[in-house]
Amino acid sequence: MHHSSIMAACIARGARASRTGRRQSSRLAFVALGSNVGDRAAQLCAAWRRVQRTLGPIVASSPLYDTAPQLVTEQPRFLNAVVAVKTSLPPLDALAKLKEAERAMGRQDRGRYGPREVDLDLLFLGDEAFEAPSLTVPHPRIGERDFVLRPLRACRRALSGDCELVDTFLKERWGGDFLGEDVDGEERRVWSALGTLAVAGAKTGVMGVLNCTPDSFSDGGLHFDIEAALRSAETMVAHGADYLDVGGESTRPGAVPPSLAEELDRVVPLVEKLRQFAVPVSVDTRRADVALAARTAGAAATNDVSGGAYDGSMLSTLAADEWQRGVVLMHMQGEPNTMNSLASYEDVVAEVSSELQERVRAALDTGIAPWRLVVDPGLGFAKNTEHNVALLRDLPRFKRALGGLPVLIGASRKRFLGELAGEPEASQRDAATAGACVAALPAADVVRVHDVRTCVQALRVADAVLR
């Protein structure tokens, strides 16, 4: 069926659709988001929140796509995405909310196809067809725009059930494989949760560990002095670290948590001084007050080993940041003092995935955009050697279960590597760590390590072969 005949069928169906402007029962709206001015990812995350607040709950989101401009090509590249929203708003009210959001986010009028801070378009509204001078639904030019079709397909793939008109459009474009995987094209899937834009699947990022604690399991005390920490950070960056991760609380078994004031004193001054290296910084903390202070000091992300469950205000604190920065949600059972006694699973991959899905849903429901989320299966946290090996072996299944969110792996120097390699001394497990990092490819997007140089070299080779 050609695009024109699809539109004709939609308009004919509109004879039985409501044109009165009255609020209707809830149905799915598909909304396209785009930006090519300023911090594109931050603006799409802010737009995601506004759509959720004003139209209704977002039930599915596509990945972000970096796309070339069309029609007016002399302008910056766009970030594009599509979200599916449950809404009871009639078409013109939905359009009004989207235009109001554009204005609130500072969109400037640069012509019809010119650059824009944010662009929000209503693509579909249930199976309704609607025509008015200011709006036609379904959007009449979807079929001409791969930069909309590709994220639309990805968003639709995340939904179960029938979406008749959406499926009709996608079948016209891709035939019987209209919900297949992305193919190579001008559009590139990207993610930006840790403070820099990365092309999905292109390389493995390396995060260097800076534990500014006296009692971390393999490097306690090494970075307790801020000048020593800065020297280590400089070395890590020189060796190719993509990110730095600052921790002010040891989460090794038996560790005693520091006071809030002590954790703040350890973390915040170091984060402020790390700005000089121009590498994104995450802060490893379970406390919302530390996460907020660290963000104010310049941190690009919060790395929470409890998945946002330890501090009841963590997720709401992170969501309150209008432009939002990254959130790493890790899986852990219990507390550092009790987690080893909770290492019991029938299917560790399925159970860890399911429990992390709950934390992801909690983050989304609180208002954290999906493009700011990274998931971590929590190797070594309430898992024995068998469990850790199973997670590494079946990491692709874990990633699929989490909807393809970026995956961070933190295996560095952990006990299970010592058991596998026969190395009792944690500081001597860097070769074993590199082996675990390579084993995590290509599903792992970032690895968190103490020895950046060894890991970067191993991953450059592994990425060249496996990606």
**Per-residue CA distances from 422 to 112, 199, 389, 417, 432 (Å):** 65, 37, 15, 8, 10
HSE-up of residue 105 (Cα within 13 Å, Cβ side) = 31
pLDDT at res. 14: 43
- Which residue matches tokens 């890991």? 455
CATH of domain 192-466: 3.20.20.20
- From the centroid of its chain, how far is CA 61? 11
- Report the distance separating Cα 143 and Cα 235, nearest Å: 50
Give the residues across from 106 on adjacent strands. none
One-letter identity of residue 354: S
pLDDT in tens, 174-202: 777 777 776 555 668 999 999 999 999 99
Nearest to 369 by CA among 51, 37, 54, 123: 51
- Report the distance separating Cα 368 and Cα 419, nearest Å: 38
Interior/surface letters 273-304, b for 16+ CB within 10 angstroms, e for the rest: bbeebebbbbbbbbbbbbbbbbbebbbbbbbb
pLDDT at res. 5: 46
Asked if residue 257 lies in contact with residue 227, where contact means CB atoms within 8 angstroms, the answer is no
pLDDT at res. 73: 86
The DSSP code sequence of 244-268 is: EEEESS--STTPPPPPHHHHHHHHH
Domain boundaries, the chain: 3-190, 192-466
- From the centroid of its chain, how far is CA 237? 23
pTM of the model: 0.91
Length of the chain: 467
Within 8 A by CB and 6+ apart from 338, the residues are none
Asked if residue 242 lies in contact with residue 196, where contact means CB atoms within 8 angstroms, the answer is yes
Three-class DSSP category at 270:
helix
For residue 64, the tally of other CB atoms under 10 A from its CB is 26
Question: Count of H helices and E strands in the chain?
Answer: 15, 17
- Report the distance separating Cα 177 and Cα 112, nearest Å: 33
Positions marked catalytic = 414, 448
pLDDT at res. 204: 97
Q: What is the pLDDT along the chain (467 residues), one digit of tens a residue?
A: 344 444 444 444 443 344 444 556 889 999 999 999 999 999 999 999 999 999 999 999 999 999 998 888 899 999 999 999 999 999 999 999 999 999 999 999 887 788 999 999 999 999 888 999 999 999 888 877 888 888 999 999 999 887 888 888 888 877 777 777 765 556 689 999 999 999 999 999 999 999 887 755 555 456 568 888 999 999 999 999 999 999 998 877 767 788 999 999 999 999 999 999 999 999 999 999 999 999 999 999 999 999 999 999 999 999 998 777 899 999 998 676 666 666 789 999 999 999 999 999 999 999 999 999 999 999 999 999 999 999 999 999 999 999 999 999 999 999 999 999 999 999 999 999 999 999 999 999 999 999 999 999 999 999 999 98
Q: Which two tokens stand for residue 126?
A: 């249930």
Cis ω for the linkage preceding 377 (within 30 of 0): no
Q: For 373, phi and psi rounded to 5 degrees?
A: -105, 140
pLDDT at res. 297: 95
pLDDT at res. 11: 43
- Report the distance separating Cα 393 and Cα 389, nearest Å: 6
pLDDT at res. 337: 65
Q: Which two tokens stand for residue 82?
A: 């599509």
Contacts of 310-318 with C-beta under 8 Å, sequence gap 24+, read 310/286, 311/286, 311/287, 313/288, 314/286, 314/287, 314/288, 315/362, 315/363, 315/366, 315/368, 316/288, 316/366, 316/367, 317/288, 317/291, 317/292, 318/288, 318/291, 318/363, 318/366, 318/368
For residue 197, the tally of other CB atoms under 10 A from its CB is 15
pLDDT at res. 338: 63
CATH for the 3-190 domain, from 3.40.50.10860, 3.90.79.10, 3.30.565.10, 3.30.70.560: 3.30.70.560
